[in-house]
Amino acid sequence: MFTPEQINEILNNKNVLRCSEKSITYHKDFKLLAVRQYQDEGLSARRVFKQAGFNLGIIGRDIPKQRLRAWLALFKTKGVLGFSKEQRGSTKGGTNGKHSLKNLTDQEKIQYLEANVAYLKAENAFLAKLRKKRLN
C-alpha cells in the first residue's frame, strides 16, 4: 500500500501513467524501453528501474524483476503491440495467447513481426551465452 506522499513521488516520474494505493500503471514507452535495456544491453531489472528514476524503497525491491518478467512474456506473445493498451484484467478470448494478425494494418503487422524477430534474436543470444558458460 502506498501513502499519499509516496503516490505523489511515483506520479512525478515521467514513466508512470497512473498510481493508486495498490498499483502503478507504467507508460507503454517505458515498458518497451525496459524490455530492450534488459534484453539488448543486459541491464538488471533493478538497474533499469533505477535509471528510470524509480525509488525501489517505495515501489519495492522485487517489483522490477516481477514487472520485467511479465513485460517480457507480453512482448514475446504480442510484440510491441502488446504494450499499446492496458492488459490488466483482459482475457485471451480463446486465442490461446497467439496474436491475431488479420485485423492489423500492414504497418502494424510489420511492427509485430519485427518485434518478434528482435525478441527471438535476443533469446538466441541469451541461450548462446548460457551454453557457452556451461561449456566453460
| Phi/psi-derived region of residue 79, left when phi > 0, alpha when psi is between -120 and 50, beta in every other case | left
Is residue 96 scored above 60 in pLDDT?
no
Q: Which cell is 77 given?
A: 506473445
What is the pLDDT at residue 107? 79
Q: Quote the CA–CA distance of 59 and 81 in Å, as a whole number.
A: 26
Question: Which one, of 52, 54, 58, 12, lies nearest residue 32 by Cα?
Answer: 52
What is the pLDDT at residue 124? 81
Give the CB-side neighbour count of residue 37, counting CA atoms within 13 A: 18
Q: Quote the CA–CA distance of 79 and 71 in Å, as a whole number.
A: 10
User: What mean pLDDT do residues 105-124 have?
Assistant: 80
What is the pLDDT at residue 8? 95
What is the pLDDT at residue 99? 58
Query: What angle do helix axes 63-78 and 106-135 make, rounded to 10 degrees?
Result: 120
Q: Give the pLDDT confidence of 22-53 residue by residue, as tens digits.
A: 999 999 999 999 999 999 999 999 999 999 99
Arithmetic mean of pLDDT over the chain: 85
Burial profile 89-105: b = 16 or more Cβ within 10 angstroms, e = fewer: eeeeeeeeeeeeeeeee
